[in-house]
Amino acid sequence: MDFYSTNSNGCRANAKNAVLQGLASDGGLYMPAEIPSLSKHFLDNLENLSFQEIAFEIAKSFFSSDINDTDLRGIIESALTFPAPVVNIHDNINTLELFHGPTLAFKDFGARFMARTMSHFLNENEKQHLTILVATSGDTGSAVAQGFLDCPNIDVIILYPAGKVSKIQEMQLTTIGHNITALEVNGTFDDCQRLVKTAFADKNLTEKFLLGSANSINIARLIPQIFYYFEAYKQLKNKKLATFFAVPSGNFGNLTACLMAKIMGLPIEKIIAATNINDVVPQYLESGVFSPHPSYQTIANAMDVGNPSNFARLQDICKKDLNTMRNYLWGLKVTDDEALQAIKEVKEKYNYTLDPHGAMGYVALSSYLKQVSIPSQGIFLETAHPAKFGDVVTKVLTENPAIPERLATCLNGKKETIKISTAYIDLKEYLLTTIN
C-alpha cells in the first residue's frame, strides 16, 4: 500500500520510504492510501485468534504488497512477545494493560514493530546506515531505544528535556549505551520536537545522511497500536453492550490508532480523548478553535504536549470537518488533583493501582459513562506501569508500587548523556561530527 502526506495528497511514498523517512518531504505525516475494512468473518472470529494472529491480519491489510507473509509474521512474532490483558476494575469499567513490555509502557508495541520493520527494509540494500532521531517527553525514548538496541546498521539519538522526565524514565533513557545516545536538551519537550523537525527539514543533513524518525509520527509506530484495540475487544465477555475506549493522550498517536481500528470495523461506539491540562483537542471539540500552546507540566508527563502532532492525521481522517470529529470523539481535560484522587479511590475501593496517565483515562471514562443512557461498557488504557511513577503515586498511596525486575536493573546503571541547548546549531554540529 502507498502512503500520502497529510499536507498534500500528491506527496506519496511506498511503504519502505514512508517507514524509513518517517515524516513526508513536505513536512506532513504519512497516512495509508486507504484505511482497509476487515472482513466480517475476521471480526466474528476474533475470539479464536491469538494476539499475534490478530496482529498479523491487521498488519497484512496494510503491508501485504510490501512485506511477504513469512517476513511479516516474523516481525510480529519477535515484536509481540508480551500480552495486552483486559482487567475489570469495577462494574462496566475495564482497563487494557499496555505495560507488559520491556520498558513498561504502551510505546513498546509501536517501537518494537517499527524497529523490526525498518530493519527489514534496510536489509533490502545492505549498505544503508540509518540514524534515528527521536524527541521524547519520557516514555518514547526508552521504548524506541529498547526496540532498536543492537539493530545492525541503525543508530538512535534521543532528545529529552532536562529535568522534565521522571528519575526512572531518565535512567531508562541514559543507561543503555551500545547504539543508543541520549541528548539532554536544556528546554521543554516542544523544543526537542522542534529540533528534530528542523533537522529533518535541513538539506545539509538529509543529503548526507539517511535520517529516520521514531516518535509517534512514524506510520510504522501507529499501525501496531491498532492491534491491541482488537485484542482488547476480543477479551470482552459481553459484546452486545455499546463499547467505549478512553485513551490518555499527548501526541494523539494512540488515539488515532483507536480511530483507525473503529474505521476498520471494530464496533466502538465512541472514543474518549482524555488529556491533562494540555487540552487543545478537548477545547477544539468544544469550540471548533484549535489553539496550540507551549506545554504545561503535569503529573502525567508523557501527555504534556501543547501541539499534538497527530492532530493532522485526525483532521485528515475527519476531512477537516468538526462535526465528523465530534461524532467519533468526546474530549475531557483531567487535572492533576482529579487524577490523584482517582488513584487513591481506585486503590482503596478496588485494590488496583493506576498510574497517572491511566488515572486520567479512568476519570474521563467514568464521567462519560455517567451520561450515557444505553447499556454500555468502557475500557481505559493503562499506558504505563505505576512503578514508573512511584514518586507521584505515593503522594496518595501508603505503599510504593512494586518495581518489576526489568525496571530495577536499569536503575543500577550509569547515566551517560550529552548536553545541548535549544539552539538548532548545537544539534546540527553534533550530528555533523558524529554520524559517519
Ligand X SMILES: *Cc1c(COP(=O)(O)O)cnc(C)c1O
Number of residue whose CB is nearest ligand X = 139
Q: Nearest distance from residue 362's CB to ligand X, in Å?
A: 13
C-alpha distances in angstroms, 260 versus 7, 50, 203, 360?
19, 21, 33, 22
Q: Nearest distance from residue 310's CB to ligand X, in Å?
A: 7
DSSP-based three-state secondary structure for 148? helix
- Closer residue to ligand X in complex, CB, 250/378: 250
Query: For residues 219 and 18, is the Cβ–Cβ distance under 8 A?
Result: yes
Q: Nearest distance from residue 216's CB to ligand X, in Å?
A: 5
Residue type, 105: A
- Closer residue to ligand X in complex, CB, 253/282: 253
Query: For residues 421 and 389, is the Cβ–Cβ distance under 8 A?
Result: no
- Closer residue to ligand X in complex, CB, 30/42: 30
Among residues 314, 380, 320, 383, the alpha carbon closest in space to that of 35 is found at 314
DSSP-based three-state secondary structure for 322? helix
Q: Is 107 a catalytic residue?
A: yes
The distance in angstroms from the start CA to the end CA of the chain is 32
Sheet strand arrangement including 30-32: 12-13, 3-5, 30-32
Beta bridge partners of 277: none
Q: Nearest distance from residue 239's CB to ligand X, in Å?
A: 26
DSSP per-residue string spanning 240-288: TSEEEEEEE-SSSHHHHHHHHHHHTT---SEEEEEE-S--HHHHHHHHS
Q: Nearest distance from residue 321's CB to ligand X, in Å?
A: 22
- Closer residue to ligand X in complex, CB, 161/431: 161
- Closer residue to ligand X in complex, CB, 105/176: 105
- Closer residue to ligand X in complex, CB, 4/389: 389
Residues in Cβ contact with 427 at an 8 Å cutoff, skipping those fewer than 6 apart: 159, 183, 195, 198, 199, 420
Q: Nearest distance from residue 359's CB to ligand X, in Å?
A: 11
- Closer residue to ligand X in complex, CB, 107/333: 107
DSSP class of residue 295 equals P
SS (H, E, C) 14-80: CHHHHHHHCECCCCCEEEECCCCCCCHHHHHCHHHCCHHHHHHHHHHHHHCCCCCHHHHHHHHHHHC
Query: For residues 242 and 372, is the Cβ–Cβ distance under 8 A?
Result: yes
Residue 275 burial (10 A CB sphere; 0-12, 13-18, 19+): buried
DSSP class of residue 409 equals G
CA–CA distance, 253 with 247 (Å, rounded to integer): 10
Cell numbers 444505553: residue: 374
Q: Nearest distance from residue 263's CB to ligand X, in Å?
A: 17
Please report, as ranges, the residues that interact with ligand X according to CB under 6 A.
105, 107, 139, 216, 248-255, 302-303, 357, 383-384
Identified catalytic residue from 16, 40, 60, 107: 107
- Closer residue to ligand X in complex, CB, 122/225: 225
Q: Nearest distance from residue 384's CB to ligand X, in Å?
A: 3
Sign, Cα dihedral of 184, 223, 99, 359: positive
Q: Which residues are catalytic?
A: 107
